[in-house]
Amino acid sequence: MHISEGVLKPEILIYGVVATTIMISYSLKKLKNEEIPLVAVISALFFLATFIHIPIGPVSIQLILNGIIGALLGIRASISIFIALLLQGLLFGYGGISTLGINTFNLAIPALLGYVILSLHINNKLVMKIQYFLVGFVPVFMSSIFLSITLTFNGESFLNAAKISFLAYIPIMLIEGITTMFIIIFLKKVYPQILNNLK
């Protein structure tokens, strides 16, 4: 879900930088020393998950896992996502430095929905599995909407790209939902402490 360099209008880039700077600053204020290793590990997970990508016009599709990242880190997810996107931009040219702000914003804000959904207290086992599925599905769905809106604001010539990018991510939403469901079930068995929101 990387928007490449030289695609977006300067005003969109500025908005992305300002919004992401505020978000990262707040996240860093909330970050505790003992949480730094978890943020680092999840940054590496995100880096690897989004490493394999398929370019489609000005964007690319790949696994994102922003739902599980948000579920595990809450507001600190923005730090993890920012670090991974920065390294991808610097090391491999994925996305870019000028688009780092808007790319982070489009992924990190929806990631918080993963935290919110996982925080819901549900006792029924079947409904719980649906809940875990939605932890992965909903953030990717919202990130796809954010990406489409970003491209739409960039001008009429990007309307088709906005539609294509959203449609291209529909199978990814389903894959992410299923993957996240199994990740959470696995973590609940082997490392339940990390899932403090689950009762």
Each residue of 95-121: pLDDT tens digit? 789 999 999 999 999 999 999 999 998
199 exposed, middle or buried (CB, 10 Å; 0-12, 13-18, 19+)? exposed
**CB atoms closer than 10 angstroms to residue 155:** 10
Question: In what helix (H) or strand (E) does residue 177 lie, and over which residues does it extend?
Answer: helix 170-190
Of 107, 111, 95, the residue nearest 180 (C-alpha): 111
What distance lies between CA 129 and its chain's CA centroid? Answer: 21
Of 138, 140, 48, 137, the residue nearest 94 (C-alpha): 48
What band does 57 get if pLDDT is binned at 50, 70 and 90? low
pLDDT in the model for residue 94: 78
Per-residue 3-state assignment (H helix, E strand, C coil) for 103-122: HHHHHHHHHHHHHHHHHCCC
Of 94, 59, 74, the residue nearest 23 (C-alpha): 74
Amino acid at 153: F
Q: In this prediction, what percent of the chain has a pLDDT beyond 70? A: 93
Diameter of the chain measured on Cα atoms? 50
pLDDT in the model for residue 145: 95
Q: Is the pLDDT of residue 58 over 60?
A: no
pLDDT in the model for residue 198: 41
Q: Residue holding tokens 């996982």?
A: 118
What band does 197 get if pLDDT is binned at 50, 70 and 90? very low
User: How large is the average pLDDT for residues 64-75?
Assistant: 92
Helical H segments across the chain, by residue range = 10-30, 36-49, 66-73, 77-92, 100-119, 125-153, 159-168, 170-190
**137-156 confidence digits (pLDDT tens):** 999 999 999 999 999 999 88
User: How large is the average pLDDT for residues 70-80?
Assistant: 94
pTM confidence score: 0.89
Q: Is the pLDDT of residue 12 over 90?
A: yes
